[in-house]
Amino acid sequence: RIQILFELMGDRSWCFGFGFGTILAGLCYLNGWVWLPDKLGLDGYALVGLGVTVSIFNYLNEYLLFFPLKYSKFAPDGGVPARLGWFIMYFAPMVVYLISWKYIGAPSSSYDILVMSLYCCHFSKRCLEVIFLHKYSKDCLLESVIQVGSFYSLGAVVTAYSSHVLPDSTARSAFLDDSFRIKFGLGVYSFGQLCNLYHHYLLATLRTPGSFKYVIPKGGLFSLVICPQYLGELLSWLGFSIVGYNFGLYLCYIPMVAYLCARAHHTYRWYQSKFDDYPYSYTLKLWPFVY
């Protein structure tokens, strides 16, 4: 009966995963951990519209597969060396963020430096993983490098504007007054980064040296969800939003929920179709015990 229950949970649609991730952001709002300006201006409405639009596009393209991003196991072999392609995808948003920060006057309050450091730490970690950790079975498509790099770079601009422009200097200095929120957010962020790193390590060590064959992942949280690396990614962005406090960062987190829930769904289906001996028919996709 328990296995049947988990099989039914595994068949849950994207809406369950997206809804749960959105609820987590809603709980942060109810707890007073989301800053909203006293009056939402044109730029604020633009951010809301952009967040909603990107979430809808991620649902249509990544879940319904209208125009899905083609990379990893879901793409043919490309013409860009994989290590170079993935490095560009993760290095570009960090450069865009730093250029944006410099362009808006390089604000350097404790809050500004903290947010910038956490953002750059995330993408620096991903660049280091690309160079030293990940194993690749195929090269990248040039269009995928451009699309993924552009997607993250758009998020970099929104993050920089939301963090360093939308709230004035007085508001930003007050964002650090709640020490519990900061510590809690840093804890969630750090746990997410370690969860992501550990499961990337497990994925990198699955194959024997010289082998490019896909194998069934095991260890860590793979017995609970098929994409624990995505779980860590989302927890990192949620923790980052809690620390950063302002609503614009949550508007970056929610489209990531839409995107990774869709990718997790199709990864789940891919493993089921690829391996006849796939043992995790009752495994969920991303959120333990939920989706």
| Cβ-based neighbours of 140, under 8 Å, separated by 6 or more | 71, 75, 78, 80, 81, 82, 84, 85, 86
The string of DSSP letters for 94-149 reads HHHHHHHHHHTT---SHHHHHHHHHHHHHHHHHHHHHHHT---SSPBPHHHHHHHH
pLDDT grade, residue 263 (50/70/90)? Answer: very high
Closest CA to 126 of 94, 158, 82, 173: 94
Q: Give the torsion through C-alpha atoms of 44, 19, 90, 135, to 10 deg.
A: 180
- Using a pLDDT cut of 70, give the percent of the chain over it: 95
Residue 120 near residue 113, CB atoms below 8 Å: no
pLDDT grade, residue 1 (50/70/90)? Answer: very low
> Is pLDDT of 198 > 80?
yes
DSSP designation for 288: T
Per-residue confidence (pLDDT) for residue 108, from 0 to 100: 94
Of 52-56, 153-157, 191-195, 265-269, give the lowest mean pLDDT range: 265-269
Per-residue confidence (pLDDT) for residue 76, from 0 to 100: 87
Per-residue confidence (pLDDT) for residue 213, from 0 to 100: 77
Report the predicted TM-score, pTM, of the whole model to 2 decimal places.
0.94
pLDDT tens readout for residues 247-262 = 999 999 999 999 999 9
Amino acid at 160: A
Residue 129 near residue 197, CB atoms below 8 Å: yes
Which residue is associated with the tokens 């995808």?
89
Dist. CA 181–CA 114, nearest whole Å = 14
Which residue is associated with the tokens 């930003």?
172
The string of DSSP letters for 218-256 reads -SGGGGTBS-HHHHHHHHHHHHHHHHH-BHHHHHHHHHH
pLDDT tens readout for residues 2-46 = 444 555 455 678 999 999 999 999 999 999 999 998 888 899 999
164-172 mean pLDDT:
91
Residue 134 near residue 56, CB atoms below 8 Å: no
pLDDT tens readout for residues 202-260 = 999 987 777 777 888 889 999 899 999 999 999 999 999 999 999 999 999 999 999 99
